Amino acid sequence: MNRIEMIKEQLSDCRPEKWEKIPDIDLYMDQVIGYMSRQHIGLSMDDEETLTSAMINNYIKSGTLPRAKGKRYSREHIAYLTAICLLKQVLSVGETGELLKSQMEAKDVQTFYEEYVQILDGEFRRIAEDLPDKSSREEKSDAALRLAIASYGQMLACKQILQELKEEE
């Protein structure tokens, strides 16, 4: 299986656990880190994305992630971290925190998480469908360019929306 087929399959099929399947018992830091590799496809690919205990501690210090109860992390922490691991790839930690804060103003963590997974599912499936199948080098290059430009435009729009939300506070 080539790389394009592999990412297409992952974008089509790999999803974070449903809320009900996230452990309802508190986990220690090393258990959380191990669990997160199954929650976010980027954490299981090519070691480009990582999650460490230092990163989790920084998310707590910045207010992006709620404090743990003692040294144990709940289902809510897993939900937050699932979103943080994806969002931090395109937003700063501060921007990620602002987005999560604005999401939590009108909903609880479970509702946010379920909506997050639904949005992720729709967007990942759309991207997978747009990826070229067996194609020429030029078609692959064109697809990569199109994805990069779309990503940049979406990131710019996202940051402007976040700035407007911040100004409305």
pLDDT in tens, 72-88: 999 999 999 999 999 99
The domain total for the chain is 2
Is 25 inside a domain boundary?
yes
Is 119 inside a domain boundary?
no
pLDDT at 100 > cutoff 80? yes
Question: Could you give the CA distance from residue 97 to residue 153 in angstroms, rounded to a whole number?
Answer: 21
CB atoms within 10 A of CB 53: 11
pLDDT at 66 > cutoff 80? yes
Average pLDDT rounded to a whole number, residues 142-152: 95
Tens digits of residue pLDDT in 151-168: 999 999 999 999 999 999
Tens digits of residue pLDDT in 13-25: 999 999 999 999 9
Question: Could you give the CA distance from residue 16 to residue 114 in angstroms, rounded to a whole number?
Answer: 10
Mean pLDDT rounded to a whole number for the chain = 92
Strand partners, 28: 72
Is 37 inside a domain boundary?
yes
Tens digits of residue pLDDT in 117-144: 999 999 999 999 989 887 789 999 999 9
Instruction: For residues 14 and 40, state if they share a domain.
Output: yes
Question: Could you give the CA distance from residue 150 to residue 141 in angstroms, rounded to a whole number?
Answer: 14
Token look-up 């998480």 returns: 113
Is 123 inside a domain boundary?
no
What pLDDT was estimated at residue 1?
66
CB atoms within 10 A of CB 66: 16
HEC string of 107-149 equals CCHHHHHHHHHHHHHHHHHHHHHHCCCCCCHHHHHHHHHHHHH
What pLDDT was estimated at residue 169?
83
Is 125 inside a domain boundary?
no
What pLDDT was estimated at residue 97?
95
pLDDT at 147 > cutoff 70? yes
Residue 97: in which H helix or E strand, if any?
helix 93-104
pLDDT at 45 > cutoff 70? no
Question: Could you give the CA distance from residue 10 to residue 20 in angstroms, rounded to a whole number?
Answer: 22
Domain that holds residue 31: 1-114
